[in-house]
Amino acid sequence: MLSFSGKRLLGLGHRVSAAAVVGRGYHERVVDHYDNPRNVGSFDKNDSSVGTGLVGAPACGDVMKLQIRVDEESGKIVDACFKTFGCGSAIASSSVATEWVKGKKMEEVLSIKNTEIAKHLSLPPVKLHCSMLAEDAIKAAVKDYEAKKAKHLGNAEAAQVEKA
Amino acid sequence: MLNMLSVFSVLRRQFLENNCLNVFLIMRRSKNCSLFSLLRTSLKELVYENTTKRGLWLSASSLVHEDLLLHPGIPSNFCINTRSFSIPAKRFARASNCRGLDHHDFPEFRVLNRFLCSSEAGSGELPRCWNCGGAAVSPGPFLACGLCGSVQPVDQSIDFFQIFGLERKYEIKDGNLEVKYKDWQKKLHPDLVHSKSEKEKMFAAEQSARVIDAYRTLSKPLPRAIYLLKLEGVHVDEEKTITDPDLLAEMMDIREAVEEANDSHALNQIQTQVEEKFEKCSRSFEQVFKMHDFDNAIAAIERMRYYDRALEEITKKL
């Protein structure tokens, strides 16, 4: 089982060689995301322009956190990062998800389907739920941002009403 | 069409041909049947009549007597004085303990068996051995025949708890699972049937696989909990994504802590904490399950699975 990819940044994990990959059956794109993790990290949860999606798959005890930074005026996602504890397929799925949401509008990313992610990574049927988890994480992040925005607006309105 | 007289003549013939094993089987087979006392009397008479065969039949009668001690009302003079027999009892005992009687020697047995079946009272409920037709006589699940020892085909209606003789509940203190598991494998393991028919080999493979499955499921708390819910018809949906923020945030923290811990002391500390949480969930599951609160039971199982996974990661790291 592959663990949190952040560990690899510190050079503590061991590399999965290409030969081993062929034997074990991970697609090269999955291995690529594991060897060269992109967008691993964290944003400040309390930042008003950040939406956080935290999802889990009870079957394997995986946890996935996906965060998006949204530009308020354009409604576009300018940055994204993730942190996933789970198998290689789950890590790769969330990594792909962060890559795909960058530069897109929030409505657009809601249409990203898990089947697309699974196809991109050539996930076997037994790992399809990992891509589903990534799709759910995107939706949860967007939902969180919207909720924050609504609350923020609500607070601002209340403040204005009070002033007036 | 077999009738009562024919049964006696079968018994007589087997006796006169010195087929002690077959005689033994007939007596055992008719144990639950109304014919039994008559057959017993008949055997006694045969033994007395045929003094030349006395030696052989002394040990036969003593074995039949021992075996039939459970039967009420056995007359005390049934068993002839065994001290004067010439055939070593051990040889006979070994012969009568051998499993899987080969029917080439005893073609009448199947017919006899069907006849005895129809004369048995109230035994319609008992499962029967495919090999000797014997009804399940001993208590416990019918995985192997008590009479001829043949392994039986898997009966899916016998659940895992029944295989180990346990009540269907979460707490299994002093279940002695390992001892019972080994006992079953002594009767069912495929290695023991390597010289038997293909059919029996297949039965042995399936039965022992089922017992292994049962042992693995019941020996750990989490699979046991899931199995209990399954027996109640509640399916724990494993594919569904969960978004419970508290549980997930907690798990994130635990997993991050495990990642960052660098020495075994720190890991052991986390391990103890997570184990405690698991225990708490486990007890909570027991409570809600007893009250048939299946929604909360599923929630408890989800938490337990997460803690279990974290414990796996800690163990890997240690």
pLDDT tens track for B155-179: 888 888 888 888 888 888 777 888 8
Higher-scoring residue by pLDDT: A134, B2: A134
Name which of A99, A77, A110, A109 is nearest A29 in CA terms: A99
Cα distances (angstroms) measured from residue A10 to each of A5, A35, A37, B255 = 9, 12, 12, 17
Q: What is the pLDDT of residues A68-83, one digit of tens each?
A: 999 988 889 999 999 9
**Active-site entry in A30, A90, A130, A138:** A130
Q: Measured between alpha carbons, how far is A126 from A60 in angstroms, rounded to an integer?
A: 11
Q: Containing H/E element for A106? A: helix A106-109
Smallest CA–CA separation between A136 and chain B, in Å?
7
- Among B241, B242, B317, which would you mutate to test the A interface (most chain A Cβ atoms within 10 Å of its Cβ)? B241
Determine whether the interchain pair A3/B247 forms a contact, defined as Cβ–Cβ distance below 8 Å.
no
In this prediction, what percent of chain A has a pLDDT beyond 90? 45
More confidently predicted of A135 and B174: A135
Q: Is A87 a catalytic residue?
A: no
Q: What is the pLDDT of residue B65?
A: 59
Q: Identify the band that residue B100 occupies on the pLDDT scale cut at 50, 70 and 90.
A: very low
Q: Is A46 helix (H, G, I), strand (E, B) or coil?
A: coil
**Nearest Cα to Cα of residue B247 among B316, B289, B310:** B310
Closest by Cβ to B248, choosing from A54, A129, A132: A54
Alpha helices in B1-126 (DSSP H): 4-16, 20-29, 36-49, 54-67, 89-97, 108-119
Per the annotation, the verdict on A130 as an active-site residue is yes
**Residue B58's pLDDT band (boundaries 50, 70, 90)?**
low
Contact criterion met (CB below 8 Å) for A133 and A62 = yes
Cα–Cα distance measured from residue B225 to residue B296, given in angstroms and rounded to the nearest whole number = 12
| Six token digits for residue B283 | 């007890």
End-to-end CA distance of chain A: 59
Query: What pLDDT, on the 0 to 100 scale, is given for residue A82?
Result: 94
